[in-house]
């Protein structure tokens, strides 16, 4: 007979459906007198995305059955595979029995059985099953396997149901379950247990975290995590929901432990929603029972809680935003009266295009800071309006000039502060001019250099009353505000008098995608401003020198640094950061220095470096390190080491961390965590790692 013979389904009517046509290819095809089709040699059969290969197929028209001799291979196009020694199936391969069979799901999880019954094209009923995702080497027992009397695979629901299951490690039984349900490797979200984790800390002892994931639909889920040790009974919870126009996340925990007599808890909520007419609603809620709870249980190291709701609309020519914020401090040396617990603000900005490279900005806003826990704690409210005109020019020689003029008016109302008048009005006129001279040079190899000297001149003055300083208590010189009209963050303070800012910026673009920038500058004033702290770099008639630079490459390497220093080259502030991301490396390192400053409640200098890195050493090994070192104090603040090893069937992760900081509410603590997951189930990790291989 001919080598390739394709038979359309005229002879096999059970395979001729509206969904498609089956094709049979074989070395030899014979049709007998009793209406049997016998195909032999290199057989390939295709139907509706399913492919079957075998040594011999006999189709009997009277019984409408396929009798198949192996080795048999059936694939469904999604990575699932069935192998068998022999089979009896209907022509659609949906119902029947396979003997000496093996089911491989997503090229990972393999289930060997004495027989597999196919039911309605959806279910595979396996008997006397051994399931594993480990490579099997001869007669050696795999690293782990699950033995069961029966396993049912629901192909549509992508679930595996085990009866009388025994988990074995190197052939040794360690766990028996009468019934067990696990998701197959192709399922991303399914109700069930997630990876358990063993956790040991100095304060809580050794305990077990057992997370349970509950799928509430395609767009929402709930994860409950009991955490039990000799010293704690904790229930953690996380709820997520995705909406058409936004998302919602709720996290929290409730604890009864030996560290404190009362029930401990925390609740964090955040959401973001797109509303009609381009409005966006964002909100966060943060509350905790006591200052040490988050650190004791590893929920975070935040030292200030911030609950906020905001409504924002950003359009091409206007901006509207309003927000209400509630602060709660967890710091030992800070009481809530030091900063207003309740802050509310509303503002509207409008830009009017006047043509000829000029425009008019109009602003209207109001804010209030309220202290609620003491009758004699100061409350401040402000309402203000302003306008600013600006026009851009191009002068001879390519010099660019920006000139502006404006007026800001604010009315303040003060309560519960006998040292300040109850109300006051202030007006602030201002004018400014900025000159830039961009000089461009194009070099060989696609290199482009941009040298831009800049000079900014400004004048402003304040008339009327001076309100208490609530939102401009911290300021510092950086590249972003070197040429700004005012370096104060809020409306309570403004720079006054005549001043100038001079700077030089050099930017280089290379053909390979590398870019670099270096900025150098300083501010000069006719009179010193006393509202800037010494460490801000802005105090006095002349500011500190600013030196700032950064380099970014196309392969993911980024470094930036900023330094403030005086005429004697004494450094006031210094920061540096390196970030490098590759396929096998994740590196984020930073350094910060701040001089001592009593005005900013910093009696000692701050000098600290931080490192967060992870390296994929081999296909199997991954190492991560996270550390903070207090150089000024001469001791580490935090260290953490993570080790992960995985092969094709198991992932083991070990983490060790130590927090060295202490206070009246928090003690130093060591935390050790261990997790083991069986690859091949989506409750663990799909994909796995490198195969361990077999040796003689």
Residue 295 is given by DSSP the state H
pLDDT value of position 374: 64
Q: Is residue 37 over pLDDT 90?
A: no
Q: Is residue 665 over pLDDT 70?
A: no
pLDDT value of position 191: 83
Q: Is residue 647 over pLDDT 80?
A: yes
Residue scoring higher pLDDT (90 or 430): 430
Tokens of 347: 């503002």
* Percentage of residues of the chain with pLDDT beyond 90: 54
In this prediction, residue 18 has a pLDDT band, given cuts at 50, 70 and 90, of very low
| 652 Rama sector, left if φ>0, alpha if ψ -120 to 50, beta otherwise | beta
pLDDT value of position 138: 78
Highest mean pLDDT among 90-94, 178-182, 227-231: 227-231
Q: Which residue has the tokens 């300021």?
A: 475
Residue pair 299/293 in contact (Cβ under 8 Å)? The answer is yes
Q: Is residue 14 over pLDDT 70?
A: no
Q: Is residue 16 over pLDDT 50?
A: no
Tokens of 436: 């830039």
pLDDT value of position 663: 67
* Percentage of residues of the chain with pLDDT beyond 70: 93
**Weakest mean pLDDT among 425-434, 438-447, 540-549:** 438-447
Q: Is residue 314 over pLDDT 50?
A: yes
Q: Is residue 686 over pLDDT 60?
A: no
Q: Is residue 377 over pLDDT 90?
A: no
Q: Helices in 531-596 by DSSP H: which ranges?
A: none
Residue scoring higher pLDDT (387 or 647): 387
Task: Give the span between the Cα atoms of 296 and 289, in whole angstroms.
Answer: 12
pLDDT value of position 147: 94
Task: Give the span between the Cα atoms of 189 and 487, in whole angstroms.
Answer: 50
H helix and E strand count, the chain: 1, 42
Residue 598 is given by DSSP the state T
Across the strands, what pairs with 681? none
pLDDT value of position 6: 36
Mean pLDDT in residue range 367-387: 84
| 623 CA to centre of own chain | 20
Q: Is residue 70 over pLDDT 90?
A: no
Residue scoring higher pLDDT (11 or 403): 403
pLDDT value of position 7: 37
Residue pair 684/132 in contact (Cβ under 8 Å)? The answer is no
CA-nearest of 382, 291, 384 to 343 is 382
Task: Give the span between the Cα atoms of 611 and 591, in whole angstroms.
Answer: 9
Task: Give the span between the Cα atoms of 295 and 390, in whole angstroms.
Answer: 50
Q: Is residue 15 over pLDDT 70?
A: no
Mean pLDDT in residue range 144-156: 92
Give 29-93 as a DSSP string.
Answer: EEE-TTSEEEEEEEEEEEETTEEEEEEEEEEETTTTEEEEEEEEEEE-SSS-EEEEEEEEE-TTS
Mean pLDDT in residue range 643-661: 89
CA-nearest of 27, 19, 93, 20 to 56 is 27
pLDDT value of position 503: 96
Q: Is residue 443 over pLDDT 90?
A: no
Dihedral (C-alpha) 479, 480, 485, 487: value to the nearest 10 degrees? -80
Handedness of CA 299, 302, 305, 308 (dihedral sign): negative
Bond into 71 cis (ω within 30): yes
Mean pLDDT in residue range 152-157: 88
Q: Which residues of 231-269 are buried (b: 16+ CB within 10 A; e: fewer)?
A: ebebebebbebeeeeeebebbbbebebebeeeebbbebb
Q: Is residue 465 over pLDDT 90?
A: no
| 464 CA to centre of own chain | 48
The pTM of the full predicted model, rounded to 2 decimals, is 0.81
Mean pLDDT rounded to a whole number for the chain: 88
Residue pair 400/436 in contact (Cβ under 8 Å)? The answer is yes
In this prediction, residue 337 has a pLDDT band, given cuts at 50, 70 and 90, of low
Residue scoring higher pLDDT (470 or 558): 558
Task: Give the span between the Cα atoms of 666 and 229, in whole angstroms.
Answer: 20
For residue 518, the tally of other CB atoms under 10 A from its CB is 15
Q: Is residue 577 over pLDDT 80?
A: yes
Mean pLDDT in residue range 95-106: 88
Task: Give the span between the Cα atoms of 109 and 684, in whole angstroms.
Answer: 12
Q: Which residue has the tokens 């220095």?
A: 593
**Weakest mean pLDDT among 73-87, 155-169, 547-561:** 73-87
CA dist 179 to 68, 147, 176, 182, Å? Answer: 33, 12, 9, 10
Dihedral (C-alpha) 123, 125, 129, 130: value to the nearest 10 degrees? -10
Task: Give the span between the Cα atoms of 589 and 591, in whole angstroms.
Answer: 7
Residues 6+ apart with CB under 8 A from 511: 445, 446, 447
Residue scoring higher pLDDT (689 or 319): 319
Residue scoring higher pLDDT (9 or 647): 647
In this prediction, residue 3 has a pLDDT band, given cuts at 50, 70 and 90, of very low
């Amino acid at each position: 007979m001919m080598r390739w013979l394709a038979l359309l389904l005229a002879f096999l009517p059970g395979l001729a459906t509206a969904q498609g046509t089956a094709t049979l290819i074989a070395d030899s095809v014979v049709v007998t007198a009793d209406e049997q089709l016998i195909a032999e040699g290199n057989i390939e059969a295709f139907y509706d995305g399913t492919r079957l290969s075998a040594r011999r197929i006999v189709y009997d028209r009277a019984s409408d059955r396929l009798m198949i001799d192996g080795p048999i291979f059936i694939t469904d196009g999604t990575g699932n595979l069935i192998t068998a020694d022999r089979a009896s199936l209907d022509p659609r391969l949906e119902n029947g029995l396979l003997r000496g069979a093996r089911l491989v799901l997503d090229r990972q999880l393999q289930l060997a059985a004495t027989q597999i019954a196919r039911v309605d094209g959806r279910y595979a009923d396996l008997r006397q099953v051994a399931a594993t995702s480990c490579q099997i080497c001869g007669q050696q027992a795999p690293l782990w396997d699950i033995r069961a009397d029966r396993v049912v695979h629901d192909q549509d629901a992508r679930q595996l149901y085990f009866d009388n299951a025994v988990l074995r490690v190197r052939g040794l039984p360690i766990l028996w379950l009468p019934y067990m349900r696990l998701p197959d490797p192709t399922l991303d979200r399914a109700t069930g247990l997630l990876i358990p984790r063993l956790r040991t800390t100095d304060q809580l002892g050794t305990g077990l975290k057992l997370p349970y994931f509950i799928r509430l639909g395609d767009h929402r889920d709930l994860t409950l995590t009991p955490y039990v040790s000799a010293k704690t009974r904790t229930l953690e919870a996380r709820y997520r929901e995705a909406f058409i126009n936004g998302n919602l996340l709720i996290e929290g925990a409730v604890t009864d432990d030996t560290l404190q007599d009362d029930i401990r808890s925390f609740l964090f909520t955040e959401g973001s929603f797109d509303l009609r007419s381009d409005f966006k609603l964002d909100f966060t809620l943060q509350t905790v029972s006591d200052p040490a709870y988050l650190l004791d249980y590893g929920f975070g190291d935040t030292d200030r809680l911030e609950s906020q709701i905001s409504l924002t609309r950003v359009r091409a020519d206007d901006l509207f935003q309003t927000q209400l914020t509630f602060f709660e401090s967890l710091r030992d040396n800070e009481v809530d009266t030091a900063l207003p617990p309740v802050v509310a603000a509303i503002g509207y900005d409008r830009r009017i295009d006047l043509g000829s490279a000029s425009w008019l900005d109009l602003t209207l806003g109001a804010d209030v800071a309220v202290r609620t826990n003491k009758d004699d704690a100061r409350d401040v409210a402000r309402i203000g309006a302003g306008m600013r005109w600006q026009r851009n020019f191009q002068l001879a020689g390519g010099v660019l000039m920006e000139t502006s003029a404006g007026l800001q008016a604010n009315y303040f109302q003060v309560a519960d502060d006998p040292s300040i008048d109850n109300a006051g009005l202030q007006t602030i006129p201002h004018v400014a001019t900025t000159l830039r001279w961009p000089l461009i040079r194009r070099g060989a190899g696609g290199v482009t250099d941009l040298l831009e000297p800049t000079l900014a001149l400004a004048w402003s003055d304040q008339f009327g009353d001076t309100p208490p300083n609530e939102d401009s208590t911290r300021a510092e010189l950086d590249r972003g505000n070197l040429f700004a009209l005012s370096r104060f963050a809020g409306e309570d303070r403004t720079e006054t008098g005549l001043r100038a800012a001079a700077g030089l910026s050099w930017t280089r673009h290379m053909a390979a995608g590398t870019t670099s920038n270096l900025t150098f500058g300083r501010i000069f004033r006719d009179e010193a401003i006393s509202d800037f702290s010494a460490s801000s770099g802005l105090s006095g008639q002349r500011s500190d020198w600013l030196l700032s630079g950064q380099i970014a490459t196309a392969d993911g390497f980024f470094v930036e640094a900023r330094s403030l220093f005086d005429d004697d080259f004494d450094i006031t502030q210094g920061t540096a950061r390196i970030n490098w991301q590759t396929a096998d490396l994740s590196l984020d390192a930073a350094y910060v220095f701040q001089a001592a400053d009593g005005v900013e409640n910093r009696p000692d200098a701050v000098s600290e470096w931080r490192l967060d890195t992870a390296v994929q050493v081999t296909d199997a090994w991954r190492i991560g390190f996270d550390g903070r070192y207090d150089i000024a104090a001469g001791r580490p603040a935090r260290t953490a080491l993570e080790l992960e090893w995985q092969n094709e069937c198991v992932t083991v992760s070990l983490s060790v961390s130590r927090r060295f900081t202490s206070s009246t509410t928090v003690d130093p603590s060591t935390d050790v965590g261990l997790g083991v997951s069986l690859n091949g189930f989506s409750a663990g990790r799909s994909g796995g790692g490198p195969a361990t291989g077999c040796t003689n």
